[in-house]
Amino acid sequence: MRIALVARASPLPTPAPAPPPQAGPDQLPSQPGQVLRDHSSEVWAVAFSPDGQWAASASKDGSALLWAVTASGRLEGARPLQRQATACQLVAFSPSSQLLLVASLDAAVSGAG
């Protein structure tokens, strides 16, 4: 009679997640890739839609603009979404890319879609 001893292997330990990549000073752009001239003041926020077709920008001048993103990544064809007396602080797309949120310094939040 032969008896075989079978040892049960313990599961392999799960490797620790890799740390997020760190950007150093040599990886930051030293020149702007594109200047958004359709705003009359500083641009405070830019958001890209999850589908990559659109971008929105919010400015200190109170405007929020919707842009088409070209195949080369440039923003073209600005369409005004909002113009108001107080600065626009934030723009954000929904996961479906169908809705856009605009928030301003007067605590107003509006949507487009």
Residue 54: what pLDDT? 94
pLDDT: which is higher, 37 or 12: 37
Contact 82, 90 (CB under 8 A): no
Residue 3: what pLDDT? 47
- Give the start-to-end residue ranges of the domains of the chain: 39-108
Q: Give the model confidence (pLDDT) of 72-103 as tens digits.
A: 888 999 999 877 788 888 899 999 999 988 88
Average pLDDT for residues 66-70, to the nearest whole number?
92
**C-alpha to C-alpha distances, 37 to 42, 65, 112, nearest whole angstrom:** 10, 11, 22
When pLDDT is cut at 50, 70 and 90, the band that residue 12 belongs to is low
Residue 26 φ/ψ, nearest 5 degrees: -75, -10
Closest-CA residue to 56 (of 78, 38, 35, 28)? 78
Average pLDDT for residues 39-62, to the nearest whole number?
91
